[in-house]
């Protein structure tokens, strides 16, 4: 493949075939069900493919993405494929007719544990002899094959090329000079790189030709698997040849059915009855319930955002494992949501999944926190008649409003929803340093800049020693009061998290002694006498090691103790410039956060719907 690198996890169905007999990466394929990979028959007939690798991006980077290596149970070649066929074309299409094979996996793909992996859609089945025609459409081919015609150098990372699908007549004309008798067979299609010199190449065999009639994600606009690479050219002089998937659909679907494969991720489906009325009612009822808790002195606003984060790191599946210490403190809001979800008055459980409800309310309360910032900040910092007072960062609502308007639904709850009794989802550690932060979020598909923007959500809420082992608000109560038993915490969405982080001469790492200075109920101190290692500022609040690692570079030992203890001791990190940019431009951070938060709440779900019914 001789063009550009894809984004990490951009094509979550891409598969690399492991070949025991040849010892090198020879072929690619595409996941089409939780048990099946579709590839070229030549890849399976000529090589002993024992395993496949899913979720891979770069062979040389261990932590860039979370890979899944799976054993192949059986190889199923299209019964009409004949490797030794030939005709008057002079050998050009030897082995091309019906050049498709399925690899049945030993075990099904677990989409909950690997939410960044999913199958690609197959073309629509039409009554025979008709089949889907992709002629004149543009598509993409992706693979790890050779990056030049000499075949001497292969790509370590997944690359893609944009191609145009040609008519049979145009394809035949392209070969006329060298192969005047060449005819495109009914099971073959041709595509050619749009940019001169760019096309699929050696060891891209089996690579999927993917076509989308829209954004690639919205229902009705998903990527479809149009073809499988059968013969490459590595140059733009001739088209590459592909096995048509549409002509093999009957055989493919029969094999999937026999093996009990599922073309879509398993789980409890959303009822798919989302209407604008239901969407508005969920936001209205949920927001009122959360604000009523605020009047009782319970800070559920930040919990609403946190719950959507934690659920979607695990794949947005409406399940919460409260035995996982990282989820401590989220039980009360999960219980509140469950009351609303099962309330016979509104019957939300008949309209949407829990995962949809949690994600929508996370966005809703983030927007409310931004509006609360704009409405209240100046009232606190500017006394009546005061001419000059602390400048309040204004949080523009447009991007968050747009994220709500563009909300996609159709998430699937896990079978145990709203609880989860399986293995812990690996949530990010509070003791990550810079490398740990980036390694974790990069494998989920987020860049360093996106990771830095996402963590700004800590401008909301606080930690509690009895829950997490840490204590204090990330951003002190905006009234500027000293830390005390009232546990006031920020309910405003703004960039104070970043402003505080880069304030020198305030921060010191260490543990706080549990007592009346930090808790109102000192009985909790009987179980835990001091906090875990955290960064403390009497005036500004607290930060976890993983927070401060966005700005300062340090290592962390097994006890969570950082290698430097004060702000000035620690050198800046590679992401410090991003922190400084967000600290000085609140509007930019809110805009970036809104877009990335909107991506996070879609994590692990494919084919979500935007067509909210009136």
For the stretch 297-312, pLDDT in tens is: 778 999 999 999 999 9
In a domain, 7, yes or no: no
**Mean pLDDT in residue range 200-211:** 77
Residue 531 CA to its chain's centroid (Å):
33
Which range is least confidently modeled, 17-21, 245-249, 319-323, 388-392? 388-392
On whether both 282 and 255 belong to a single domain, the answer is no
> Do 144 and 171 fall within a single domain?
yes
Rg of the chain in Å (alpha carbons): 27
Nearest to 546 by CA among 465, 424, 420, 457: 457
Percent of the chain whose predicted confidence (pLDDT) is above 70: 79
For residues 21, 22, 23, 26, the Cα torsion angle rounded to the nearest 10 degrees is -120
379 band by pLDDT with thresholds 50, 70 and 90: low
Angstrom distance (rounded) from CA 127 to CA 131: 7
Neighbours of 100 (CB within 10 A): 26
Higher pLDDT, 489 or 475: 475
Pair 369, 417 in one domain: yes
Q: HSE (CB half, 13 Å, CA atoms) of 519?
A: 22
Residues 328-351 have a mean pLDDT of 92
Residue 4 lies in a domain: no
| Average pLDDT value for residue range 169-180 | 81
Closest CA to 198 of 175, 223, 232: 232
In three-state secondary structure terms, 248 is: helix
- In the prediction, which pLDDT does 555 show? 96
What's the DSSP call for residue 114?
A: -
The arithmetic mean of pLDDT across residues 194-198, rounded, is 63
Could you tell me if residue 270 is inside a domain?
Answer: no
Q: For residues 401 and 524, state if they share a domain.
A: yes
Residue 342 in any domain: the answer is yes
End-to-end CA distance of the chain: 45
- Both tokens of 145, joined, read 């094959």
Give the model's pLDDT for residue 151: 47
- 123 and 202 fall within a common domain: yes
- Among 207, 230, 259, the domain-final residue is 259
489 versus 398: which is more confidently predicted? 398
* pLDDT interval class at 485 (50, 70, 90): very low
φ, ψ (nearest 5 deg) of residue 445: 100, 15
Contact between 247 and 583 (Cβ < 8 Å): no
Instruction: Please tell me whether residues 336 and 199 are part of one structural domain.
Output: no
Measure the CA–CA gap between 507 and 513, rounded to whole angstroms: 17
The dihedral built from the CA positions of residue 474, 479, 484 and 486, taken in this order, carries a sign that is negative
Three-state secondary-structure class, residue 526: helix
Name the percent of the chain in helix, strand, coil, to the closest 5.
30, 20, 50
Q: Assess whether pLDDT exceeds 90 at residue 183.
A: no
pLDDT at 216 over 60: no
Tens-place pLDDT, residues 449-480 = 999 999 999 999 889 999 999 999 999 864 43
Give yes or no: residues 226 and 304 share one domain.
no
Residues 298 and 369 reside in one and the same domain: yes
More confidently predicted of 179 and 428: 428
pLDDT at 559 over 60: yes
pLDDT at 170 over 80: yes
* pLDDT (0 to 100) of residue 587: 94
Residue 196 in any domain: the answer is yes
Written as six digits, the tokens of 263 are 């073309």
Token code pair at residue 152: 């001497």
Please report whether residue 267 resides in a domain. no
Query: Which tokens go with 25?
Result: 């990466």
The pTM assigned to this predicted structure is 0.61
Q: Which domain holds residue 571?
A: 276-600
Does residue 410 share a domain with residue 288? yes
Cβ count near 152 (within 10 Å):
8
* Position 551 pLDDT exceeds 60: yes
pLDDT given at position 90 = 46
Q: Are residues 228 and 299 in the same domain?
A: no
Domain termination site, one of 259, 289, 320: 259
Q: Give yes or no for residue 127 having a pLDDT over 60.
A: no
**Which CATH number is 283's domain given?**
1.10.420.10
Give the number of domains in the chain.
Answer: 2
For residue 334, pLDDT over 70 is answered with yes
Do 25 and 1 meet the contact criterion of CB atoms below 8 Å apart? no
Mean pLDDT of the chain: 82
Q: Is 264 part of any domain? A: no
Provide the pLDDT for residue 3.
57
The residue-averaged pLDDT of 553-565 equals 95
> In the chain, what percentage of residues exceed pLDDT 90?
39
Element (H, E) at 449: helix 448-454
DSSP one-letter string for 369-430: HHHHHHHHHHHHHS-TT-SS-PPPPP--SHHHHHHHHT--B---B-TTTTB--SSPP-PPPT
pLDDT attached to residue 444: 81
Q: Tell me, yes or no, whether 52 and 167 share the same domain.
A: yes
CATH number of the domain encompassing residue 252: 2.40.10.120
At 201 the pLDDT is 59
Under 8 Å between Cβ of 353 and 271? yes
For residue 87, pLDDT beyond 80:
no
Three-class DSSP category at 458: helix
Q: How far apart are alpha carbons 9 and 54 in whole angstroms? A: 10
Give me the phi and psi of 182, to 5 degrees please. -65, 135
508 and 402 inside one domain: yes
Cα–Cα distance measured from residue 361 to residue 526, given in angstroms and rounded to the nearest whole number: 36
**d(C-alpha 192, C-alpha 365), whole Å:** 48
Looking at per-residue pLDDT, the higher value among 484 and 566 belongs to 566
**pLDDT tier for residue 110 given thresholds of 50, 70 and 90:** confident
pLDDT at 235: 53
- Lowest mean pLDDT of 207-221, 256-270, 321-335, 484-498, name the range: 256-270
Backbone CA torsion sign across 378, 372, 598, 540: positive
Q: How many helices (H) and strands (E) does the chain have?
A: 14, 17
**Residue closest to 10 by CA, chosen among 565, 420, 447:** 447
In tens, the pLDDT along 407-453 reads: 988 888 888 889 877 667 788 999 999 999 999 898 788 899 999 99
Distance of CA 608 to CAs 45, 231, 605, Å?
Answer: 37, 34, 7
Residue, of 326 and 382, whose pLDDT is higher: 326
Of 259, 293, 313, the last residue of a domain is: 259
Q: What's the pLDDT tens digit per position in 261-286?
A: 666 443 444 434 577 788 889 999 99
Average pLDDT over residues 496-522: 91
Instruction: Please indicate, yes or no, if residue 573 is contained in any of the structural domains.
Output: yes
Task: Report pLDDT digits (tens) over 217-256.
Answer: 544 457 889 999 987 655 556 788 899 998 898 899 889 8
Residue 376 has pLDDT above 90, yes or no: no
């Amino acid at each position: 493949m001789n063009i550009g690198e894809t984004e990490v996890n951009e094509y979550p169905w891409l598969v690399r075939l492991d070949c025991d007999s040849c010892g090198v990466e020879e072929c690619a394929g595409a996941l089409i069900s939780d048990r099946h990979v579709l590839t070229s028959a030549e890849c399976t007939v000529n090589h002993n493919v024992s395993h496949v690798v899913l979720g891979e991006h770069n062979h040389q980077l261990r932590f860039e993405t979370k890979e899944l290596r799976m054993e192949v149970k059986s190889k199923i070649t299209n019964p009409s494929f004949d490797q030794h066929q030939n005709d008057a074309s002079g050998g050009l299409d030897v082995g091309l007719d019906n050049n498709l094979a399925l690899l049945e996996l030993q075990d099904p793909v677990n989409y909950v544990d690997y939410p960044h992996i999913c199958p690609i859609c197959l073309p629509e089945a039409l009554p025979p002899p008709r089949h889907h025609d992709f002629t004149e459409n543009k598509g993409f081919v992706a693979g790890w094959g050779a990056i030049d015609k000499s075949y001497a150098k292969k790509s370590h990372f997944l690359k893609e090329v944009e191609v145009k699908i040609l008519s049979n007549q145009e394809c035949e004309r392209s070969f006329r000079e060298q192969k005047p008798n060449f005819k495109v067979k009914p099971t073959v299609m041709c595509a050619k790189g749009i940019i001169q010199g760019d096309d699929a190449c050696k060891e891209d065999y089996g690579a999927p030709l993917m076509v989308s009639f829209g954004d690639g994600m919205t229902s009705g606009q998903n990527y479809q698997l149009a073809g499988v690479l059968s013969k490459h050219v590595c140059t733009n002089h001739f088209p590459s040849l592909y096995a048509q998937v549409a002509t093999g659909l009957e055989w493919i679907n029969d094999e999937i059915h026999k093996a009990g494969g599922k073309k879509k991720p398993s789980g409890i489906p959303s009822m798919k009855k989302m209407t604008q009325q239901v969407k508005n009612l969920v936001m209205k009822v949920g927001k009122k319930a959360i604000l009523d808790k605020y009047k009782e002195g319970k800070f559920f606003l930040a919990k609403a955002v946190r719950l959507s984060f934690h659920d979607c790191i695990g794949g947005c599946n409406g399940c919460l494992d409260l035995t996982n210490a990282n989820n401590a403190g989220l039980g009360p809001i999960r219980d509140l949501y469950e009351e609303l979800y099962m309330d016979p008055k509104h019957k939300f459980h008949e309209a949407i999944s829990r995962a949809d409800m949690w994600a929508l309310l996370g966005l809703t309360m983030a927007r409310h926190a931004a509006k609360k910032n704009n409405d209240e900040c100046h009232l606190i910092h500017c006394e009546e008649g005061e001419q000059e007072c602390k400048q309040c960062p204004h949080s523009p609502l447009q991007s968050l409003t747009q994220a709500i308007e563009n909300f996609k639904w159709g998430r699937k709850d896990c079978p145990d929803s709203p609880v989860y009794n399986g293995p812990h989802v690996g949530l990010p550690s509070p003791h990550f340093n810079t490398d740990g932060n980036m390694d974790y979020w990069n494998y989920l598909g987020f860049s360093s800049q996106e990771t830095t923007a996402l963590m700004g959500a800590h401008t909301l809420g606080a930690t509690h020693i009895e829950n997490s082992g840490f204590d204090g608000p990330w951003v002190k109560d905006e009234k500027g009061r000293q830390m005390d038993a009232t546990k006031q915490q920020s309910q405003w969405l703004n960039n104070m998290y970043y402003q505080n982080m880069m304030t020198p001469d305030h921060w010191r790492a260490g543990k706080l002694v549990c007592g009346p200075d930090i808790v109102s109920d000192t009985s909790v101190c009987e179980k835990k006498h001091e906090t875990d290692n955290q960064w403390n500022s009497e005036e500004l609040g607290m930060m976890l090691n993983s927070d401060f690692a966005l700005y300062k570079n340090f290592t962390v030992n097994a006890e969570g103790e950082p290698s430097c203890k004060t702000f000035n001791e620690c050198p800046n990190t590679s992401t410090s410039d991003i922190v400084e940019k967000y600290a000085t431009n609140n509007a930019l951070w809110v805009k970036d956060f809104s877009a990335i938060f909107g991506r996070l709440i879609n994590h692990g779900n494919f084919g979500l719907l935007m067509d909210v019914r009136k």
